[in-house]
Amino acid sequence: MQTVSAQLSWSHYCELLSLENVEEINYYIKSTELNNWSVRQLRDKVKSNEYIRLPKETKNKLIKQDKSSVADFVKNPIMIRNKNNYQIISEKILQKLVLEDIESFMTELGNSFCFIGSEYKIRLDNTFNYIDLLLFNYEYNCFVVVELKVTELKKEHIGQIEIYMNYIDENLKKFNQDKTIGIIICKQNNKYVIKYCSDDRIIAREYELV
């Protein structure tokens, strides 16, 4: 285990005493240092199983201290608060739930996200299209397109978000910014759709209402 950090209080460490995985403990210690989490924030992170919901590849990168990307810290599943206990979830309602607690949602995606807009209007030839959520990550210096789906991931979802990403790259991205990332949040992932997707900037994550 890493050396005890002076940036964490004894109360912080008490929140971690029940954990047995050393790498998980180190993750929370490092994240608390970087993000200046309060004891309550740390407790919420542990309670939501944030480390457990990280992709396996991300955990390996953390152990090896490899360079990370904006997609590495997007949780799976992503927790979306359903304060009004909606029983029937449409894409509009899912978007409404996200926007009602946008700060919490962006935390589920990782750190350093800024909100650009919802239903972001773009023009393709003579028709208008609307990106569900457009974000920017200032740590990784790139735009992030988020599409919300209440069904299983389908191949046409890949084509849709890829068009949006390319539009942002051509019309909004500056020369010193990295290429746009695409995140599809769906009810059920389909590993084969992602497996045969040729664009590794696109990732898919399931959502869970809480």
In which band, very low, low, confident or very high, does the pLDDT at 15 lie, cut at 50, 70 and 90?
very high
Q: Bridge-partner residues for 121, per DSSP?
A: 130
1 pLDDT band (50/70/90 cuts)? very low
Q: In this structure, are residues 121 and 168 in contact, taking their beta carbons and an 8 Å threshold?
A: no
Cβ contacts of residue 153 below 8 Å, gap of 6+? 184, 186, 188, 189, 190, 193, 194, 204
> What pLDDT is stored for residue 5 in this prediction?
65
Q: In whole angstroms, what is the distance from residue 55 CA to residue 72 CA? A: 7
Residue 28 one-letter amino acid: Y
> How does pLDDT run across 88-116, given as a tens digit for each residue?
999 999 999 999 999 999 999 999 999 99
Scanning the structure block, which residue is given the tokens 């997707």?
197
Confidence at residue 32, expressed as pLDDT on a 0 to 100 scale: 95
28 contacts 46 by C-beta, under 8 angstroms: yes
Helix and strand totals (H; E) in the chain: 8, 6
Cα 52 to chain centroid distance, Å, stands at: 14
Segment 131-164, tens digit of pLDDT = 999 999 999 999 999 999 999 999 999 999 999 9
Q: Whole-angstrom Cα distance, residue 203 to residue 193?
A: 10
Query: 17-71, pLDDT tens digit by residue?
Result: 999 999 999 999 999 998 999 999 999 999 999 999 999 999 999 989 999 999 9
Query: What integer pLDDT is reported at residue 7 of this predicted model?
Result: 81
